[in-house]
Amino acid sequence: MEFPFDVDALLPERITVLDQHLRPPARRPGTTTSARVDLQQQIMTIVDELGKASAKAQHLSAPITSASRMQSNRHVIYVLKDTSARPAGKGTIIGFLKVGYKKLFVLDDREAHNEVEPLCILDFYIHESVQRHGHGRELFQYMLQKERVEPHQLAIDRPSQKLLKFLNKHYNLETTVPQVNNFVIFEGFFAHQHPPPRKLPPKRAEGDIKPYSSSDREFLKVAVEPPWPLNRAPRRATPPAHPPPRSSSLGNSPERGPLRPFVPEQELLRSLRLCPPHPTARLLLAADPGGSPAQRRRTSSLPRSDESRY
């Protein structure tokens, strides 16, 4: 990719590492503030044009790499330039590789959730005119050495088929671990996690959750009535938290307990008639024949004059 400014002077190294500040790699002696602003604007132009070319090659609706996105995220971009070709003495850009650490929830081979923060491949592009010349492997290998990671430790964001074939060809990354998000991880990803991933409990199956049945809920709503005579007595009122002060005329007289509930006389007699006779009373009635109800009726039928004779 060619630009209207001097790329060789702006990026002196073959591979230049840019962070979110997008500043020139080295300050030139005697450079004014306005000149530094111009150099930063040139770097932003390179990043924007590389992002557009990558989006076009991947058939994306919008670029995922731009100067504004770089400034709002803690990502790193590796820019590769061509040092052999110098059209009009300005140099050209071959491609770029963007990486960054992201906090992800990924599944392992047992489908358990793991919270990790790996280095992710976010965008990768080599110009179509110089592909299959080893430039992509050179750029990727430089990034691995700079970041001190192994290929199987990476997480790739929505990789294209070309990128998957590239990783399989140069790094033997073929077997992937299925995920529910857009990131792809390969077998061996969890082998060298530092610190070890924080594992979350596996998702509970829907069949294991047993809510209360309708009968249980209805049973909890029904209040069980206490037996007699407890059901006759009204509930005692809750004493106030701060009782009113007593009159000084009471002195230090002891406090009286609450009175027993009043039961009407007719209700008490009715309840007594309904109560069964005591076993002892049954024995007394059986032992005393004269005490039976029939004997009392015969005795009460005699005249009073006869009663005086006995």
Write out the binding residues for acetyl-CoA.
124-137, 160-169
* Chain mean position to CA 34: 49
The annotation places the binding site at 124-137, 160-169
20 CB-contact burial (10 Å; exposed 0-12 / middle 13-18 / buried 19+):
middle
Give the type of residue at 131.
Q
Give the type of residue at 76.
V
- Its sign, for the CA torsion 84, 85, 91, 97, is negative
